[in-house]
Structures are given as C-alpha cells and as structure tokens.
Amino acid sequence: MSAAECLVHPWIKPLSRKQALSRSRSSINMRNFRKFNARRKWKLSYNTVSACNRLCRLGREDEELPPLCPQRRCESDPEEERSPRTALQRRRRSSCS
C-alpha cells in the first residue's frame, strides 16, 4: 500500500460528512485535557506532600509518647543473651522450579 493510498483509506479520510462530523466531535479537546492533566498533577503532588507531612508528624509523636508496656525482665532473658545468634540458612531451590 502506498502513502497516497493510505491517506485515502476510510480509517484516515472520512467517507461522508456524517462520519467527518462524528470524528470531529469525538476528538479530544486539548485545552480541557491540559487543564484536567494540570489539575491531576497538582492533586497528586498535594497528596504526596500531605502524606510525607503526616508520616513526619507521626514519627515525632512516637518519640513524645511513653512506651505502651515498659521493658520488663523475664526469666528467659539471660538465656537469650547467652545463646549465640545463628545466621539463617537459605533454602536451596530445587532444579524443577
């Protein structure tokens, strides 16, 4: 198919006035789209900053609050301190999976 044939294809060039009118109505209004996109980006930025501020505020509040349950000494605590920490072993993957 040549370039000239492609330009007169029904997908590119409308067959009738009705089809041309329908296509012009269904095209995207770029001015409205730009306004919508700007508003969407603004809301996204606002929500990101708001979430960061909220997390920061929660972090500061945690430092000021007393712990819910104070650290207490249990009988098993000395045993845990004496036992050496063992590294976790990785499981080998089977050759089937």
What is the full DSSP assignment across 60-79?
A: HHHHHSPPSS-----TTHHH
- The residue among 71 and 8 whose pLDDT is bigger is 8
Helix (H, G, I), strand (E, B) or coil at 82: helix
The per-residue pLDDT for 57 is 86
Does this model's pTM top 0.75? My answer is no
The per-residue pLDDT for 37 is 96
